[in-house]
Structure 1
Amino acid sequence: MTTMRAAVLTAPKRFELRDVPLPEIGPEDVLVKVTRTGICGTDIHIFNGHYAADRLPLVPGHEFCGTIAERGANVRHLDIGTRVVVDINIGCGACFWCRRNEVLNCAEVTQVGIGRDGAFADYVAVPARLAIPVTADIADDVLVLTEPVACVVRAARKAGVTFGQSVVIFGAGPIGNLHVQMMRLVGAAPIIVADLSAERCRMALEAGADAAVSDPAELKETVRRMTDGRGADLVIESVGSKKLYEQAFDLTRRGGHVAFFGITPPGETLPVDILRTVLEEGSLKGSVAGMGEDMHDALTLLSHGRFRIGDFTKASYPLERIQQAFETLADRPQDLKTQIAVAA
């Protein structure tokens, strides 16, 4: 076999299913036969031409699982047929940032499905050191959620959330819902969600939020009422809206924190009240992708059923219908995750 199927994004909003050469692997790499790939918010940004447009044509797809189909000559710790998930963040492995598990700051970083071809294809080649063997009896439609869960694991870790801290989460889509569940796991309370979709707000309440607000005019009063007038300890922006980032600071208590998570278009900036930030000892922290131990922790949490994932596993399309899957996403708010079933 020398070729494989791949969904190539040739231009914004246009996938073409093509036969392409099978990826070549080096002595330290493995070839993964893809079974499932999830559609991520970042994939939607790429599809719409808002992100990574300069890298087209591209095979997107970075939330995936599969089995080892081939291994490089120097790979000994992974056997053919081993089920794996993959840390998609490929750094040099030796620099200051890679040693600190801050791989996205590595000067040589690239990401599977974003900076190089990814998993909307039959096979994907990755460094063997980033393939994580799966030993638990866990279904593919759950396993494929490891990467997005790793993202919220890292966000919680970076924010340093502790028991009883109040949290506001902007966005009740797939990643917002996972933020709700992560905050509940680490003991945050109350958890308040804001989203324009009443359906998504309902799902957030089912996931563990203490309040969900679909009317923007009611949000500030709700936050003040539920935090004894102080404002939230932490506000997580998971939508990628400059307006919501600005609002986040207004909802945060003195000494509170804003978590920058949602991706905005390049070059967008915010005015920051420097004196207020200094005097109130406020802070902000960015976080976007799970990596390293975040992936292992996410896999452990999923393996032990710590997340409600029913609404993440209902929608599945074959690779041949990937264009339809992307085009209908906005019409299916009840489907928190759409998955592409690559292998039968």
Structure 2
Amino acid sequence: MNAIYFTQFKGPLEIKDISVPTATNDGVVIKVEATGLCRSDWHAWMGHDSDIVLPHVPGHELAGVISETGSAVTKFRVGDRVTVPFVCGCGKCQYCTRGDAQVCPTQTQPGFTGFGSFAEYVAINNADFNLVTIPENVSFATAAALGCRFATSYRGLIKRAHVKANEKVVIYGCGGVGLSAIMIAKAQGANVYAVDINDAALAIAQSLGAETINSSKVDPVAFMQNLGGADVAVDALGSQQTASASVLSLARCGRHLQLGLLLTANGLTDIPMARVIAWELDLLGSHGMAAKDYPEMLALVASGKLNPASLITREVGLTEGAKALAELNSQPFGGITVIKPSEK
């Protein structure tokens, strides 16, 4: 099968013919019909994730059809349309059994702890616990767009920050995570403000109903404080600058939600904690969403209340996908890129 493959961090991304994986006893092999290109995949290629063993195939936002099942799999069969959270839980620990598989201590992640979905086929273990059935009226590309970005944003805004109607929500970063967060916050009836320096991304944010702020021209912290501060502020990019700005944009007793990865060399990030203490702010994180929570989100997608497909701005094959991955940090495109591995 063909796959995007690299043998050194920051090295060449080649399209390589590698062996099709085989299913473990409790796992499946999925023919990948669509897979999202995410900034986390760029971090993997750059070597920012310690779980990755070289050589490697990235990719973690996937949707497809089961082509093989292990003998112990009982809930799924060949031909089923499925997706999977980017965090796969063990299904046995205290966190998995209480419904929080996204923080499982022995979690696995396609595209990080093993070969991922930038390939024609991908193997997923512990299938009965981790797979999610895709409704018939939800396309593979839409399911792939849910990926880590939409699911992480959904859980973060709905289950962690508890965004309510008429609240002021400011979102820093209008990539896939940020645009997903805008759509979800608007669906909750919030008043949304989107911050970025990319006019193309801001145009998409505006089309989703957000008021936009180009932070290269306007100070977003001052803008939000002139409005009385945000009830919820989201760092959807993941940098010291945007995380701090998010916290400083809050009203007293506001909630900061960290969605963007903060991958610093020492694992630490400066946060204005004096403001957190004085204004009694809440700091919240969201690290994906467990498979058991997907049906609620998928039902909203199937009903049309949430439309992640509208965030897809291009669909490419593996060759163009490899190029897009390499250029992700230097030439960001607005919206979500979906790779279809069977296409050239």
Q: Do the two structures share a fold, i.e. TM-score over 0.5?
A: yes
Counterpart of 1:9, as a letter, is: F
Structure 1 residue aligned with 2:254: 256
Query: Offset of 1:52 from its aligned partner?
Result: 4.1
Measure, in 1, the Cα distance between the counterparts of 2:271 and 2:75: 50
1:6 counterpart residue number: 3
Aligned to 1:131: 131
Q: Which amino acid aligns with 2:319?
A: E
Distance, in Å, in 1 between the alignment partners of 2:21 and 2:83 is 18
SS of match in other structure, 2:55: coil
Q: Contact 1:38–1:339 at 8 Å: present in 2 too?
A: yes
| 1:84 alignment counterpart | 82
Q: Following the alignment from structure 1 to structure 2, what is the Cα–Cα distance between the partners of residues 82 and 284?
A: 39
Per the normalisation by structure 1, the TM-score is 0.89
**Is 1:281 matched up with 2:280?**
yes
- SS for the counterpart of 2:18 is strand
Note closer, same or farther for the CA distance 1:294–1:10 as it changes in structure 2 (3 Å cut): farther
Q: Identify which range, 177-186 or 197-206, moves more after superposition.
A: 197-206
Higher mean C-alpha displacement, 191-200 vs 42-51? 42-51
- Give me the whole-angstrom Cα distance separating, in 2, the residues matched to 1:54 and 1:107: 17
C-alpha RMSD over aligned residues: 2.2
Question: Gaps (5+ residues) in structure 2?
Answer: none
SS at match of 1:144: helix
Distance 1:10 1:168 in 2: 40
On the 8 A contact 2:32/2:64 being kept in 1, the answer is yes
Q: Sort the Cα spacing of 1:279 and 1:265 in 2 relative to 1 into closer, same or farther, 3 A.
A: closer
- The Cα shift of 1:334 comes to 4.9
1:151 aligned residue: 152
Shift in CA distance, 260/313, structure 1 to aligned 2, threshold 3 Å: closer
Question: Which residue among 173, 177, 184 is the counterpart of 1:171?
Answer: 173
CA deviation string 1:253-284 (max 9, x = no partner): 1111111111122323224435x534532110
Cα pair 2:42 2:329 within 8 Å, conserved: no
What is the SS of the residue equivalent to 1:91? coil
CA–CA separation in structure 2 for the residues paired with 1:196 and 1:250: 18
Contact 2:230–2:251 (CA under 8 A) maintained in structure 1: yes
- Letter matched to residue 188 of structure 1: A
Corresponding residue pairs, total: 336
Distance 1:30 1:177, change over 3 A: same
1:240 maps to 2:241 = no
Kindly state the Cα deviation for residue 60 of structure 1 after the two structures are TM-superposed.
0.9
Quick check: 1:205–1:212 contact (8 Å CA) kept in 2? no
Q: Is there any run of 5+ residues in structure 1 with no aligned partner, and where?
A: none
